[in-house]
């Protein structure tokens, strides 16, 4: 589906519902990030280890550590220094440097303890796996003209009807071969650049003719439009991608942004977080994620942004989350099981520095004000995954209405 | 009884039986489907043949098959005959496995355990992965291919194994039935008569923990076999439950209203699976093959686990085990309906959810037929591919805009089908490479790059790995286009070199031209033939498709030579929109 078809469909939907004029839509972020990095922690992270500490709660098993208070947000340092010479955890190093740009979201109601369904809900807002995830929606709306608006290094993704906007690097960097077939010694025949241009002319002509016959409207039309768009994207991917090594995650992300290949990138954080036993592994695993985040932010800070001015970090936001969290208390095997409440760290450009929502005793999600993030005062509602994802779109400067219609977005993610 | 009476009785019995058989034969007809819709465009007969061939064999029809349909008095009857024939092709087994993997998600690129030591060096990593992860899929393919009642997938008194799987686990595999997957027996005491419920691969794919107590597995089974997912129910957690206390939790799942809704059905199912104990690893030093994964002595562990008797949605067998569970599933209409939905969904491109919402009469009709044929999956598939829903090509001038969104007239070619299609097209029984060319890695990996995600391009070409991506794509993207182009160019390069070493009558595709032919009419005739062979489209020499292809060919030939031009042109035709979608 291309953007023109999408906007037309959205307008028809809104008009048919007769609702558009009557709904007061929340304003989107006036200074949105230009790029997003999503880091997924597969298996369900224990949010008490960093972003949602609960020391002193009788209904929560909190790992030892210390509270780090950064004013608007507070996080847990799971391994405080014992000796002066001990190194700080990467959690502490990261927040020492970037806490003023961070929002911590707590209490997203996921209403499930299934890995699959919670992942669908926290990333797409909905269940079923047929809806696009927030990275796809953001990239489709704001980065449509880039070769691969949403690039997945590794990790989960749901493209919904916008599959043409999404691409993968491959587990061992196979994308390199597609970008430069000359690197594949198993190929017997590789058309040269002029041949490729001629082939594309042929492909376009045939596709346009197919569109006129079998694909004039509806589902078929969208598929043929996807084909036509992907032809151009493939060309630009080859042109720009040859500059990228697709090696380590951090360097790859920086290079993808440097060459303006994509607007959103997804990577899987190191470690497996489904700790039904041995929950203490969460500490070192999460620290290794913050090590990568710290390295990434430093690299982005050192990278000039030739498109938007300043450095890359000034225009990039990072979203760290997991499909679910873990039960408040340890089980008999010193593990924690699945918990249907989501948490998320959003940090970087355009992000409001605040805590958004809260969990209480027993790590239960508390109602919040969607605009302020406060859990006291007026207009408190229970935060659904739809509200969270709609809020992420709003943070990105994307009107959530075409995707989530009447769902009020979590506007507290931005000022 | 006298001899005469006996004779009379025998004759009468024979007549009666013959009459019954005749009646039965007469009755074995599916109910009439809804008539074709005026507001829908349907595939032409040859296009229909192409779709059936791709769906059932993963490759395009041969020139002979196309000609048979074109020349048939009743083309639909001929297509039906060919569909039946396609299901006898060994590639149909692969399609059955692909269809069911969308429910099971057991297919993995890496085996759960390292390959058995005695086979290291003899088999590849790909061989081990396929052997160790696809046991349930192979069992289904075995049942379907051999025309057994589909219920046998959960009641079979055997499993199937190849040499590698038999070396992994306690399996006795007959040695007199050749290589490959054959009926075999577990010898570790697991219940007999449970079909794939007693496989190992499902339990290595869907592992459990001390606290989960096989509940995730139970749900994976109901999702795969009943199209029912407990997790689709919303959960409202009662925060008063002390989750740290196993006794409190055990009590809550029995008595707390917010828990009981699911657990009263889920837990009795989970109680069946306690005989399994999947080791987390087999270390180098203590590697012990065959690996022990089941013990009948452990079956009663459900008493300390879920605490609920093994049962099936309120039904309790006298002496419950995996085999009684298999019987219960087999007799559940939810199982046969799910099978119908699964086959229909993959073959028509309509999701299971949409089938349930919008296509119930057709599912009902197909289900009746499935029961009438004693759960014969091939006859079900035959009925699906001959249905009007399957033949949808797209909207026409009468279609409303809303309906046009629902008409899935273009199906995305899967990477597996692309692989088989290219192998088939580049393979030539009369040439040096009857199996065709492909991208299979050397030993010890042995992965096929279009069917693998570690080194290959499966997900990048619209496939799924069952982990990060759990369903196939329905449209193309940039990496898909690049994969398609690269694969098609390579295949055509190899094909053209091979073709021109053969006499024209022995060629697969390029039978109308020589390696130095440049006459426009001859080239156009060849392109007309390619349009028919590759897309099932019958066009004349002046058709725009032929003209565009000729323009490409002549442009490249002017720069290079005719052979090179055929490589480029054929590669382009094998990667255009009519191949990406069918």
Contacts of residue B178, defined as CB under 8 A and 6 or more positions apart, other chains included, come to none
Helix, strand, coil share of chain A (percent; to 5): 40, 15, 45
**Cα distances (Å, whole numbers) of residue B129 to A51, A261, A267, B159:** 39, 35, 25, 18
Q: What is the mean pLDDT of residues A163-174?
A: 89
Residue A24 is predicted with a pLDDT of: 55
Say whether B482 and A198 touch across the interface (CB within 8 A): no
- Report pLDDT digits (tens) over A321-336: 999 999 999 988 899 9
pLDDT greater than 60 at residue A8: no
Say whether A189 and B480 touch across the interface (CB within 8 A): no
Q: How many residues does chain B have?
A: 582
Q: Tell me the shortest Cα–Cα distance from A346 to chain B, in angstroms.
A: 22
Confidence class of residue A16 from pLDDT cuts 50, 70 and 90?
very low
Angle at the Cα of B242 from the Cα atoms of B239 and B247, rounded to 5 degrees: 135
**Number of other CB atoms surrounding residue B571 within 10 Å:** 27
The answer to whether B256 and B241 are in contact (CB under 8 A) is yes
Residue B283 is predicted with a pLDDT of: 62
Q: Is the dihedral of CA B134, B140, B143, B147 positive or negative?
A: negative
The answer to whether B496 and B509 are in contact (CB under 8 A) is no
Residue B230 is predicted with a pLDDT of: 86
Residue B434 is predicted with a pLDDT of: 74
Confidence class of residue B575 from pLDDT cuts 50, 70 and 90?
very high
CA distance B422 to B485: 12
List all residues of chain A from 243 to 272 with a beta carbon under 8 Å from chain B.
268
pLDDT greater than 50 at residue A23: no
- Report pLDDT digits (tens) over B295-324: 999 999 999 999 999 999 999 999 999 999
Residue B412: strand, helix, or coil: strand
Residue B445 is predicted with a pLDDT of: 95
Chain B interface test: which of A126, A220, A385 (most B C-beta within 10 Å)? A220
Closest CA to B370 of B357, B381, B385: B381
- Report pLDDT digits (tens) over B360-405: 999 999 999 999 999 999 999 999 999 999 999 999 999 998 899 9
Say whether B239 and A361 touch across the interface (CB within 8 A): yes
Give the DSSP H or E segment for A200.
helix A193-213
Is residue A149 less than 8 Å (CB to CB) from chain B? no
CA distance A301 to A309: 12
Taking each helix axis from N to C end, the angle separating B135-145 and B377-385, rounded to the nearest 10 degrees, works out to: 80
CA distance B192 to B339: 23
- Report pLDDT digits (tens) over A103-158: 999 999 998 888 888 999 999 999 877 789 999 999 999 998 899 999 999 999 99
Contacts of residue A219, defined as CB under 8 A and 6 or more positions apart, other chains included, come to B394, B404, B405, B406, B407, B408, B409, B410
Closest CA to B369 of B380, B381, B361, B382: B380
- Report pLDDT digits (tens) over A216-227: 899 999 999 999
DSSP A151: E
Q: Please give the share of chain B, as a percent, with pLDDT higher than 70.
A: 92
The answer to whether A350 and A33 are in contact (CB under 8 A) is yes
For B100-187, where are the E strands, in sequence order? 159-161, 171-172, 182-186
Confidence class of residue B431 from pLDDT cuts 50, 70 and 90?
low
Q: Please give the share of chain B, as a percent, with pLDDT higher than 90.
A: 77
Contacts of residue B248, defined as CB under 8 A and 6 or more positions apart, other chains included, come to B241, B242
Taking each helix axis from N to C end, the angle separating B125-133 and B135-145, rounded to the nearest 10 degrees, works out to: 70
List all residues of chain A from 173 to 192 with a beta carbon under 8 Å from chain B.
174-175, 177-179, 181, 184, 186-191
- Specify the range with the lowest mean pLDDT, choosing from A10-24, A182-196, A238-252, B149-163: A10-24
- Report pLDDT digits (tens) over A364-412: 999 999 999 999 999 999 999 999 999 999 999 999 999 998 899 999 9
Q: How many H-runs (helices) and E-runs (strands) does chain A carry?
A: 11, 12
Closest CA to B374 of B27, B17, B16: B27
The answer to whether B499 and B510 are in contact (CB under 8 A) is yes
pLDDT greater than 70 at residue B430: no
Phi, psi of A344 (to 5 degrees): -155, 140
Residue A17 is predicted with a pLDDT of: 44
Q: What is the mean pLDDT of residues A18-33?
A: 69
Q: Tell me the shortest Cα–Cα distance from B129 to chain A, in angstroms.
A: 17
Confidence class of residue A11 from pLDDT cuts 50, 70 and 90?
very low
Residue A6 is predicted with a pLDDT of: 55
pLDDT greater than 60 at residue B535: yes
Say whether B481 and A227 touch across the interface (CB within 8 A): yes
Q: Tell me the shortest Cα–Cα distance from B412 to chain A, in angstroms.
A: 9
**Number of other CB atoms surrounding residue B104 within 10 Å:** 24
Angle at the Cα of B575 from the Cα atoms of B574 and B577, rounded to 5 degrees: 110
- What residues of chain A lie within 8 A of the CB of B409, using their CB? 214, 219-220
Residue B280 is predicted with a pLDDT of: 76
Q: Tell me the shortest Cα–Cα distance from B374 to chain A, in angstroms.
A: 33
Residue B284 is predicted with a pLDDT of: 60
Residue B491 is predicted with a pLDDT of: 94
Q: Tell me the shortest Cα–Cα distance from B236 to chain A, in angstroms.
A: 6
CA end-to-end span of chain B, whole Å?
66
For A153-229, where are the E strands, in sequence order? 166-168
Say whether A170 and B457 touch across the interface (CB within 8 A): yes
DSSP B34: P
Is residue A204 less than 8 Å (CB to CB) from chain B? no
Say whether A224 and B410 touch across the interface (CB within 8 A): yes
Residue B194 is predicted with a pLDDT of: 98
Q: Tell me the shortest Cα–Cα distance from A30 to chain B, in angstroms.
A: 31
Say whether B401 and A217 touch across the interface (CB within 8 A): yes
Chain A interface test: which of B219, B482, B561 (most A C-beta within 10 Å)? B482
**Number of other CB atoms surrounding residue A376 within 10 Å:** 11
CA distance B77 to B95: 23
**Cα distances (Å, whole numbers) of residue B530 to B367, B452, B508, B571, B580:** 39, 30, 10, 12, 16
The answer to whether A178 and A283 are in contact (CB under 8 A) is no
> Which of the pair, B575 or B212, is modelled with greater confidence?
B575
Residue A95 is predicted with a pLDDT of: 98
Say whether B577 and A220 touch across the interface (CB within 8 A): no
Residue B1 is predicted with a pLDDT of: 46
Residues forming beta bridges with residue B392, ordered by sequence position: B42
Among A128, A202, A337, the residue with its CB nearest the CB of B353 is A128
The answer to whether B415 and B407 are in contact (CB under 8 A) is no
The answer to whether B155 and B327 are in contact (CB under 8 A) is yes
Helical H runs in B231-293? 246-255, 257-270
List all residues of chain A from 321 to 350 with a beta carbon under 8 Å from chain B.
327-333, 335, 337, 339-340
Confidence class of residue A1 from pLDDT cuts 50, 70 and 90?
low
Say whether B476 and A227 touch across the interface (CB within 8 A): yes
pLDDT greater than 90 at residue B341: yes
User: Alpha carbon B263 to chain centroid distance?
Assistant: 32
**Cα distances (Å, whole numbers) of residue B263 to B142, B313, B322:** 34, 10, 19
- Report pLDDT digits (tens) over A201-257: 999 999 999 999 888 899 999 999 999 999 999 999 999 999 998 877 899 999 999
Write the Ramachandran bin of A166: left for phi over 0, alpha for psi from -120 to 50, otherwise beta.
Answer: beta
pLDDT greater than 90 at residue B244: no
β-strands A354-356, A102-109: how paired?
parallel
Taking each helix axis from N to C end, the angle separating B333-348 and B377-385, rounded to the nearest 10 degrees, works out to: 40
- Report pLDDT digits (tens) over A93-104: 999 999 999 999
Closest CA to B135 of B66, B76, B196: B196
Q: Please give the share of chain A, as a percent, with pLDDT higher than 70.
A: 94
CA distance A117 to A114: 5
Among B475, B485, B555, the residue with its CB nearest the CB of A223 is B475
CA distance B495 to B191: 51
Confidence class of residue B253 from pLDDT cuts 50, 70 and 90?
confident
């Amino acid at each position: 589906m291309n953007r023109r078809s999408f906007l037309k469909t959205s307008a028809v939907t809104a008009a048919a519902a007769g609702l558009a004029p009557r709904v007061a839509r929340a304003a989107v972020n006036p200074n949105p990030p230009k790029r997003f990095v999503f880091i997924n922690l597969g298996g369900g992270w224990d949010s008490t280890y960093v972003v949602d500490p609960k020391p002193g709660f009788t209904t929560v098993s909190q790992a030892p550590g210390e509270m780090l208070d950064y004013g608007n947000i507070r996080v847990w340092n799971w391994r405080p220094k014992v000796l002066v010479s001990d190194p700080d955890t990467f959690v502490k190093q990261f927040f020492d440097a970037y806490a003023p740009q961070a929002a911590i979201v707590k209490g997203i109601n996921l209403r499930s303890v299934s890995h699959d369904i919670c992942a669908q809900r926290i990333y797409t807002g909905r269940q079923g796996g047929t809806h696009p995830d927030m990275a796809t929606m953001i990239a489709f709306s704001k980065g449509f003209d880039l070769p691969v608006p949403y690039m997945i290094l590794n990790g989960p993704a749901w493209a919904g009807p916008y599959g043409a906007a999404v691409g993968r690097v491959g587990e061992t960097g196979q994308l390199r071969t597609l970008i430069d077939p000359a690197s594949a010694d198993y190929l017997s025949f590789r058309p040269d650049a002029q041949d490729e241009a001629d082939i594309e002319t042929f492909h376009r002509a045939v596709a346009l003719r197919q569109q006129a016959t079998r694909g004039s409207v509806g589902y078929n039309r969208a598929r043929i439009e996807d084909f036509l768009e992907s032809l151009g994207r493939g060309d630009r991917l080859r042109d720009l991608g040859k500059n990228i090594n697709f090696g380590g995650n951090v360097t790859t992300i920086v290079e993808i942004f440097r060459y303006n290949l994509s607007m959103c990138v997804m990577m899987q954080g190191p470690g497996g977080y489904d700790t039904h036993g041995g929950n203490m592994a969460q500490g070192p695993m999460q620290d290794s994620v913050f090590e990568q985040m710290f390295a990434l932010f430093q690299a982005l800070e050192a990278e000039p942004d030739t498109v938007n001015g300043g450095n890359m970090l000034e225009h990039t936001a990072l979203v760290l989350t997991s499909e679910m969290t873990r039960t408040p208390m340890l089980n008999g095997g010193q593990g924690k099981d699945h918990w249907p409440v989501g948490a998320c760290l959003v940090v970087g450009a355009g992000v409001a520095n605040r805590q958004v929502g809260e969990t209480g005793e027993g790590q239960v999600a508390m109602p919040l004000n969607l605009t302020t993030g406060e859990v006291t005062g007026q207009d408190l509602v229970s935060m659904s995954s739809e509200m969270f994802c709609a809020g992420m779109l709003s943070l990105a400067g994307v009107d959530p209405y075409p995707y989530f219609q009447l769902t009020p977005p979590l506007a507290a993610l931005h000022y | 009884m006298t001899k005469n009476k006996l004779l009379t009785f025998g004759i009468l019995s024979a007549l009666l039986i013959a009459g019954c058989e005749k009646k039965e034969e007469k009755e074995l007809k599916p109910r009439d489907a809804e008539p074709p819709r005026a507001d829908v465009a349907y595939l032409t007969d040859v296009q229909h043949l192409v779709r059936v061939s791709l769906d059932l064999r993963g490759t395009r029809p041969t020139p002979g098959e196309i000609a048979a349909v074109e020349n048939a008095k009743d083309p639909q009857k001929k297509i039906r005959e060919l569909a039946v024939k396609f299901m006898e092709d060994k590639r149909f087994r692969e399609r059955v496995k692909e269809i069911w993997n969308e429910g099971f998600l057991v297919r993995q690129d890496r085996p759960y355990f390292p390959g058995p030591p005695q086979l290291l060096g003899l088999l590849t990593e790909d061989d081990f992965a396929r052997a160790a992860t696809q046991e349930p899929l192979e069992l289904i393919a075995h049942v379907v291919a051999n025309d057994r009642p589909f219920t046998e997938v959960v009641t079979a008194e055997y499993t199937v194994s190849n040499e590698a799987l038999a070396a992994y686990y306690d399996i006795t595999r007959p040695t007199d039935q050749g290589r490959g997957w054959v009926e075999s027996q577990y010898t570790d005491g697991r219940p007999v008569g449970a079909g794939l419920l007693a496989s190992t691969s499902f339990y290595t794919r869907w592992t459990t923990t001390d606290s989960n107590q096989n509940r995730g597995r139970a749900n994976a089974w109901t999702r795969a076999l009943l199209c029912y997912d407990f997790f689709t129910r919303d959960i409202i957690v009662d925060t008063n439950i002390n989750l740290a206390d196993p006794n409190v939790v055990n009590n809550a799942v029995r008595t707390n209203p917010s828990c009981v809704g699911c657990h009263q059905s889920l837990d009795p199912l989970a109680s069946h699976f306690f005989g399994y104990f999947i080791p987390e690893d087999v270390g180098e030093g203590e590697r012990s093959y065959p690996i022990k994964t089941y013990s009948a002595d452990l079956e009663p562990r459900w008493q300390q686990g879920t605490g609920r008797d093994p049962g099936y949605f309120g039904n309790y067998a006298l002496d419950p085990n995996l085999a009684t569970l298999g019987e219960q599933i087999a007799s559940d209409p939810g199982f046969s309906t799910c099978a119908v939905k699964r086959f229909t969904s993959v073959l028509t491109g309509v999701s299971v959810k949409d089938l349930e919402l919008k296509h119930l009469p057709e599912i009902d009709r197909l289900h009746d037929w499935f029961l009438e044929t004693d759960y014969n999956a091939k006859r079900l598939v035959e009925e699906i591919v001959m249905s009007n829903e399957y033949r949808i090509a797209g909207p026409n001038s009468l279609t409303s805009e809303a309906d046009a969104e629902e008409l899935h007239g273009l199906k995305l070619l899967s990477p597996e089908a692309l692989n088989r299609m290219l192998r088939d097209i580049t393979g030539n029984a009369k040439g040096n490479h009857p199996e065709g060319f492909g991208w299979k890695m050397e030993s010890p990996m042995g992965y096929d790059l279009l069917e693998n995600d570690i080194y290959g391009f499966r997900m990048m070409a619209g496939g799924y790995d069952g982990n990060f991506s759990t369903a196939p794509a329905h449209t193309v993207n940039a990496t898909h286009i690049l994969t398609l182009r690269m694969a098609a160019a390579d295949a055509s390069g190899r094909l053209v070199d091979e073709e021109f070493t053969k006499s024209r009558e022995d060629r697969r595709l390029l039978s109308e031209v020589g390696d130095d032919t440049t006459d426009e009419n001859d080239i156009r005739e060849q392109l007309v033939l390619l349009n028919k062979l590759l897309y099932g489209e019958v066009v004349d020499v002046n058709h725009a498709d032929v003209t565009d292809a000729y323009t490409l060919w002549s442009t490249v030939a002017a720069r290079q030579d005719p052979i090179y031009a055929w490589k480029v042109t054929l590669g382009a035709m094998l990667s255009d929109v009519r191949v990406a979608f069918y």
